Structure 1
Amino acid sequence: MSKILLIGLPADRYTQPMLGLGYIGAALMNKGHTIKVHDMASENCGNIAQIEKEIKEFKPDSVGISVLTAQFTKAKEIVKAIKKLDTKIITVMGGPHISALPEYTLKTVSEVDFVFAGEGEISFPE
């Protein structure tokens, strides 16, 4: 099965647990995948260098990022950094912003391979 890194981005105004990533991670684990969740807000590390280090150590087959609108610019930077490290890593974006603008995301972020609109814990594991 695959190794998947799930990334939760920091929010500017408030911090709360990334429950959606937990649900997706659990669904992926139930399908036999190896999961690592990197919550940038709770781990107090909002820099791309930390994500690059995580990718080099964990060596994921794919990376999923949950995105709010205020986090979209940071998410684009992270996806670009991931593809610079390894173009074979499958990049996936989901979350409220992506659910609202899936076509826009695919058109404006050439490095993203897939987007998920709606509940990712159902479609991502497939």
Structure 2
Amino acid sequence: MKLVTAFIQPHKLHDVKDELYKAEIFKMSVSNVLGAGQQKGYTESYRGIAYEVNLLKKVRIEIAVNDEYVKTTVDAIIKGARTGEIGDGKILVSPLEDVIRIRSGEKGEVAIG
């Protein structure tokens, strides 16, 4: 079992969801987050004063999958999120020690679904 976490551009969320649905990956959590990576932000002027904006808006998608779905999930996220420009995002794949479905008490791969 793995946890796939992706940080993507907010305007690419719809495309990523479409690709995940095509790959029959329907369960996910989505959060709006702020972060900085290689982009390092930008400078903005407000009333004649320059401000450095170094935390940019991103979307965080978390998907718990069984091992056989990791490649499918990662490929779908890449296909939906890639523009070829700096700031496309990152995908992190982490091991999950255990998963428990609260409603039924099921554990492990069965709980992911």
After TM superposition, the score normalised by the length of structure 2 is 0.29
Point out the structure with the larger helix share.
1
Which protein shows a greater Rg? 2
Higher relative contact order, chain-length normalized (CA < 8 Å, sep 6+): 2
Point out the structure with the larger strand share.
2
